[in-house]
Structure 1
Amino acid sequence: MGERLKNSLWMFICTFGCGLMLSIFPLVQSPFNLVFSLLAFLIGIFFFKRFSTIGSRILFFVLSLIFFMLFTIVIAMIIYIRQNPLPAA
């Protein structure tokens, strides 16, 4: 596997995981939400150790925010549909 493809996959996995952990954080009760914030923090530390260039770090931050917003919207839609079922036609 090429080095560039390998780095791209690592970036996708790390940003996907970090965005997911950050979007789950507000949904879980108080003592357990610390686990998700610590996991996001550890993913960030792992990524920053592996990638040292400024461009990749900025891209990690931007993609993590994009995944966070995407997951938050999807989770909000699922919660809304569960709480307000569609009327029978």
Structure 2
Amino acid sequence: TRNDGFEYPEALGTIITTEMAIYDLPTLEKELGEIEMSYVSEPQNDYQKLMRKRSNVVLNHVAAKHSEKVISTIALVPDGGNYK
């Protein structure tokens, strides 16, 4: 192995997964969302508790209103793929 003086930085703290961060957000599968919505559960982890310190509601959780053509195109994209 090569020893060129590189030192790995110390860990900054607990790793936060995407699931941990968004698990308590309302789903938007059949609706576009609203400017203000309720959380779907009590906080499940320390990160969610931290994010709720200044607000007990979800703000601006709104999806784009896509046309039927765009929805059909999105449906053709395989998991992990892209539109090209």
Larger Rg computed on CA atoms: 2
Identify whether the pair has TM-score above 0.5, normalized to the shorter chain: no
* TM-score, normalised by the number of residues in structure 1: 0.31
Higher helix proportion, which one?
Answer: 1
* TM-score, normalised by the number of residues in structure 2: 0.32
